[in-house]
Structure 1
């Protein structure tokens, strides 16, 4: 572990500060701050996890943690809550203590120790700044801990200014450190009960500590719902504390169902369905009414259009079903990504097949997921790349693997994506809400569906600007031979 020269760290800070003074902000400066955090703490990787509605997500990543960009993080997992709950603002622990699959991901990549600092802006917790080290038994120097604390405050300043942050439009909502939490001894008696637990349950610490746990306890990695006497429903999760006989329990009020925009969804998709149906009906009527008067060429052309529009209609129906359906866990099986990608390329429309540059390795480790959905994911990413790449300049498909995941990328040299849009692009109907995008058509469901499909398979997807111009869309799925492949 080699610390960056102080001059380089201060130069990085100065660059971000100058940009802030010039009125800039958003993900670009957040990313630069994460890179400075990695250098200033002598770490080999760094991330910033922004709290979202019911989880967290990596919105900036640097160094050996770049692969985590876009990854959802289960911040309310009891074991992770236990690590973040107590102690100083800056916390340090071996990644093996993280009971979530994220800990496995870190360990398998040689990232054995983690140091975190919570970011608080205007009295609200907005996320976690985390850095990683290759040694499990080491300990950060006081200067490194101070540097991480300072960088967390520096990021908090950026959130306070509100220029393009928070990344998510509805703002951070999860607060894993200050949320309801309890520790139980082997007899399931309460030995720790934080203020949030007291507020939610109306049980002050003096009436809870030393008493039996008052609610149901789920099995590991399960969630149970329970209605308290006051009528409030709570969700409860429990997990053994690594290296201890205690049990960590996290719980919260059951979130309200977010509005699904059903009326808008029906209106938009109705419009999209009407177009191919109208064309199919028009050409079919022409063939029926004027078959004898049409020459062979006209008949073939009409039949070709009917077939093409029928395929478009089938794909649109598949998209709608994916938007509202749940994954069938029985379809999550090991499969050959290269073979599946090759088949999915063959199913693209003729223009896409002809212009897509495919550069795939001969073999890759098998991945774990739903093979049938891969064609939909690839088609959406290729279609999206083609929309914003005039004349399909350098739209490429590549793939690879690392110790925990198998990935593929669709890269283009199009108009690119602004950093503040790399997460908003995955929102439902986002395209319709952005005036300069509407000319490209569509209902704005493509990337929303991609993320929904991929994350139901315990993978994740991200967008980022491409060096030299354009955009890279990257999908990561679990390796079939990796530990914990069946969990997000």
Structure 2
């Protein structure tokens, strides 16, 4: 690590950022550029930015070794040490002594904080490094003051709206859970109606057996879904516990609709993965929504890749496509309820899928993020705690 900041890189980087701002750009992609500049100019191993909103914050941009923290929720109180800790937890052997942070202020309020991680503790307390970091945090404050694409997250909804969100979550989970057995029952019922004579006795018995099996599954699902709601319409969850992530992903893929299932390709799934801690039942819903989103935004002949791995204290799995990709300014908005990109290139959805995924993952103390994929496409990444 250099003893002093790289002032040439800092100057050139500031000129580039100001050029984009002068051209009318002031959103998340510019913020990401400032985060990268912080890492490069200060000689860090990684950098990141956490945006603060009433009630909670979220890490919305990161580079280098801090990148796995993108999408992580940060709860109040928002202290530099608490956000530093959120980053260092994602770095193997990470130490708070190697993390430097500075607050970003806009219109008299703290909009977020900028952080850089180093190989070693800063010599002499890193006075020059901290001054440069505060300078760059000041640039971000001015971006927030422009109100163009920032803040990323809207104001929190009133209590009545939050209760409605919980009801919407329940509807979204219900529709997913019920879709498969209802489709199978209808399909076999139609087969019996239209092909009774040609099926023969063995075929008819098999169709009736499958209908009966799926009807029993449907009854169990209804019991579970109804018991997961409270009187005010909020959504509960089955108890969390250790589970085999790779096995859960394979089983979830097996329940995907036929055409989508054929497009899913499993990449790296290490056999020695430790167990994840969370709600195994939710993996089917999460994978289905992410794979469906990838299917909607990519050509029919392309693969949807699923892989898993481990970091210091989290397990991750990724769902990647080679589709139309996602703009940087949309990677957080995509998780908003009912939000859809209005580009006319994709069939419309309900705008609840990714919202549902984030809610389910965060209920398990995990987090989920989207990012553009190199050479085109999108990567969705889910992180769950280790058991």
Same fold (TM over 0.5): yes
Q: CA deviation at 1:5?
A: 3.6
Q: CA deviation at 1:283?
A: 7.2
Query: 2:113 maps to which residue?
Result: 128
Please identify the structure whose Cα radius of gyration is greater.
1
CA distance in 1, matches of 2:32, 2:354: 22
Query: 1:334 maps to which residue?
Result: 242
Query: 1:178 maps to which residue?
Result: none
- How large is the RMSD of aligned CA atoms in angstroms? 4.0
Query: 2:68 maps to which residue?
Result: 67
Q: 1:343 aligns with which of 246, 251, 267?
A: 251
CA shift in 2, pair 1:284/1:46, >3 Å: closer
Query: 1:38 maps to which residue?
Result: 39
Query: 2:50 maps to which residue?
Result: 49
CA shift in 2, pair 1:477/1:287, >3 Å: closer
CA shift in 2, pair 1:462/1:107, >3 Å: closer
Query: 2:29 maps to which residue?
Result: 28
1:256-275 mapped onto 2 (5 Å cutoff)? 256=159, 258-261=161-164, 265=168
Q: 2:325 aligns with which of 416, 431, 439?
A: 416
CA distance in 1, matches of 2:118, 2:264: 39
Structure with the larger helix share: 2
Q: CA deviation at 1:7?
A: 2.4
Q: 1:425 aligns with which of 334, 345, 359?
A: 334
Q: How many residues align?
A: 370
Q: 1:115 aligns with which of 100, 117, 139?
A: 100
Q: CA deviation at 1:129?
A: 1.1
Q: CA deviation at 1:290?
A: 6.6
TM-score normalised according to structure 1 size: 0.65
1:269-348 mapped onto 2 (5 Å cutoff)? 295-296=198-199, 324-328=234-238, 331-348=239-256
CA distance in 2, matches of 1:346, 1:52: 39
Cα-to-partner distance string for 1:291-349 (whole Å, 9 max, x where unaligned): 76x7549x99xx79x97xx89x97x9899979941234xx3222221122122222222
In the alignment, does 2:154 pair up with 1:169?
yes
CA shift in 2, pair 1:464/1:448, >3 Å: same
Higher RCO (CA-CA < 8 Å; seq separation 6+): 2
Which ranges of structure 2 fall in alignment gaps of 5 or more residues?
none
CA shift in 2, pair 1:406/1:265, >3 Å: closer
CA shift in 2, pair 1:263/1:126, >3 Å: closer
Q: CA deviation at 1:112?
A: 2.9
Query: 1:471 maps to which residue?
Result: 378
Kept after mapping to 1: 8 A contact 2:88/2:96 = no
Kept after mapping to 2: 8 A contact 1:112/1:133 = no
Query: 1:386 maps to which residue?
Result: 295
CA distance in 2, matches of 1:364, 1:407: 10
Query: 1:10 maps to which residue?
Result: 11
